Chains A and B, each alone.
Chain A
């Protein structure tokens, strides 16, 4: 009968075997590219923000990263349904980056987009008038 070792190193190694197991890798693996891209985007969003406490910053970062990881698949699927030429997997990284970069500034981004849309509509109306 072998005796079970219970020193610190053995416990650490045991925990590592659980964390780095193939089962975990199969579940987490596909999300690593999304995590990498959204983390870079969320880092820029964090740097743009005024300094807060570490916990405040951590929750902000976790929220932004979580939303980016959650939404990337849906946004990529919607984009592919519009442009079937593009492969869904190739969109994961740029979409995750942009979602992370936006942070929680969605109202400002919506205002900016609405302003650009208005300008585009005005231009189209002007062109139509000029064409007559």
Chain B
């Protein structure tokens, strides 16, 4: 039983990180950012919050959940340099090809 709680806490921490990064990027966006980019981070944020509290409806995260959550978090961290000051040009309508 303790293992379940430990996985839940780790999942909570990883989802919290994803939610934080998504929140900061949504805050950095402006009106010219593409709808698909906005919706991407909106879903990341909402899904991360819900995934963090999934034991509340009886779904306990295990290795698989932690792996995909960790991979998603790593992906967000890897693109941090592109989002340092403002959204990358490729995410806005003017910058798109």
Residues of A within 8 A of B (CB): 9, 12-13, 16-17, 20, 24-25, 28-29, 32, 35-37, 39-40, 43-44, 46-52, 54, 57-58, 61
B7 → A minimal CB distance (Å): 10
A41 → B minimal CB distance (Å): 8
B47 → A minimal CB distance (Å): 8
Q: What are 26 A-B contacts with C-beta separation under 8 Å?
A: A12-B6, A13-B5, A13-B9, A16-B5, A16-B9, A17-B5, A20-B5, A20-B8, A20-B53, A25-B56, A28-B53, A28-B56, A32-B50, A32-B53, A32-B56, A35-B50, A36-B50, A40-B45, A43-B22, A43-B26, A43-B38, A43-B42, A43-B46, A47-B33, A51-B30, A61-B23
Does chain A have a CB within 8 A of B66?
no
Does chain A have a CB within 8 A of B55?
yes
Query: Please, what's the 1-or-0 string for B26-58, where 1 marks a CB less than 8 Å from any CB in chain A?
Result: 111111010000110111011001100101111
48-78 of chain B: CB within 8 A of chain A: 49-50, 53, 55-58
Q: Tally A-B pairs: CB < 8 A.
A: 82
A37 to B39, CA, bound (A): 12
Given known A-B contacts A20-B8, A57-B23, A43 and B49 have beta carbons under 8 A apart: no
| Secondary structure class of chain A's binding surface, majority of residues | helix
- List chain B residues, Cβ under 8 A from A17: 5
- List chain A residues, Cβ under 8 A from B29: 46-47, 51
- List chain A residues, Cβ under 8 A from B23: 46, 57-58, 61
Does chain A have a CB within 8 A of B80?
no
